[in-house]
Amino acid sequence: MLQGLRRADTGRAEIFGHPAGSVAARRHVGITPQNADFPEQMSARDVLAYAAAHFERPQPVGELVAAFGLERLVDRRMDGFSGGELRRVALALAFVGNPDLVFADEPTAGLDTGGQDMFKAYARAYVEGGGSLLLTSHHW
């Protein structure tokens, strides 16, 4: 309900004073589902830049590329990415809008140890910087 994917049977759900799922609420939220698919013909840079263009104050794509270890992948077509590489793009995408709240479903699933450590460090810095993180995980 908070992500706006389902409506409440009764009552209401709000994000930062806006109805959950509304455009106003989505401007504050980043989401990374457990499984994500991307257009295979696009590069990671294309996907991140496209998403960033939809936000008023996006995170610079270059910063996300560095933070999520995408330097060697960023300009490659995504059709050959491994599951862990796709996961890194999905995680970066959750933060591209410079959100106040991020929903992360199993964010470290499919990541190697280095990728897991990278995400945990980024998530801690995000929360210490005032962001809110709602995460579901069997491995934290």
Q: Active-site positions?
A: 106
In the numeric block, the tokens 């590489």 are attached to 85
3-state secondary structure 12-42: CCEECCEECCCHHHHCCEEEECCCCCCCCCC
For residue 41, give the nearest of 50, 33, 32, 31 by alpha carbon: 50
Q: How far apart are CA 67 and CA 57, in angstroms?
A: 18
Query: Judging by DSSP bridges, how do beta strands 101-105 and 29-32 pair with one another?
Result: parallel
Contacts of 38 (CB under 8 A, 6+ apart): 47, 78, 86, 89
Q: How far apart are CA 62 and CA 117, in angstroms?
A: 20
